[in-house]
Amino acid sequence: MLRAALIWGVLVLVLFAPVFAAASSPLLQWRDPVYIFAGLAGVVGMAMMLVQPLLAIGVLPGVSVPASRRLHRAVGVGLVLAILGHVIGLWITSPPDVIDVLLLRSPTPFAIWGVLAMWAVFVAGLLAVLRPRLPLRAWRWGHTAAVSLAALGTVVHALQIVGTMEMISKTALSALVLAVLAWAIARRRVWSMGLRPRRP
């Protein structure tokens, strides 16, 4: 019980600290509510990327494997909605900038990484919908490649932006997103080889 409480406590702290820090940023003063919503939607979406691998491999204490898979699908839908909120909100505040980003014409590198991450998430979501119709091995490779590109693109996108996200919490979240994803992929590889993974 103590170990489970500690794991959940650390996870909640890691998830909410960047969101709280961004919401408290002085750079949000005098900003329109739509812009604030769009920015926070992006931070929330990045936090969801930390949870998704943990749900995919079913290692969160107190959550059964079937429940973990259902939550994985639900959070995946939430991630897509967060990205849409992020992009649509920014489009409302500045349509020309968002159009340049979507057409890969933006002069800012962080915008290019962001749009690549967005499309990778959409591809991962589409593959999730098509999973029953695809060969399992092809689906695993495609889904893993898509979520890996999404995580990498999101991390580079976030780290290159000097904005509302506080640097320490942003860096910690970025490192954890990549580390947890790599760990989850490694565990899934062990499972696919027919070996029994170590308990977390």
How many CB atoms lie under 10 A from the CB of residue 36? 17
77-112 tens-digit pLDDT: 999 999 999 999 999 999 998 998 888 888 888 999
Integer CA distances (angstroms), 162 to 20, 27, 55, 158, 198, in order: 17, 10, 31, 8, 40
31-66 tens-digit pLDDT: 899 999 999 999 999 999 999 999 999 999 999 989
pTM: 0.88
Token pair, residue 94, equals: 């500045």
Q: Are 127 and 80 in contact (CB under 8 A)?
A: no
Q: Are 50 and 14 in contact (CB under 8 A)?
A: yes
How many angstroms from the chain centroid is the CA of residue 174? 10
